[in-house]
Amino acid sequence: MIEKIPFLHRKKMYNIIVREDVSFAALHYILDILIEQGAFMGEEETETPDLYTVVYEDAKYTVGVDGIDVMIVYS
């Protein structure tokens, strides 16, 4: 089941959209990587989300960022 979960990270709220279970540690790591890569700099809405690949503890995730919405797929 796809869920949209409000998630607080570094005093900022994000909407996490996931189908599979993702640990809190993985979510924090993924958001840190996205912040480092400037994924949230513009935060203006675009027609298509920006896509990123993040590897955490042997798990590879494809992550789409659209404003504060973060869509995570285990790949």
- pLDDT per residue of the chain (75 residues) written in tens, 0 to 9: 677 899 999 999 999 999 888 899 999 999 999 999 999 876 555 566 789 999 999 999 999 999 999 999 988
Cα–Cα dist 38/54, whole Å: 14
Count of domains forming the chain: 1
Confirm if 30 and 72 have CB atoms less than 8 A apart: yes
Phi-psi label, residue 6: left if phi above 0, alpha if psi -120 to 50, beta otherwise: beta
* pTM beyond 0.75: yes
Residue 38, domain extent: 3-74
Residue 61, Cα to own-chain centre: how many angstroms? 9
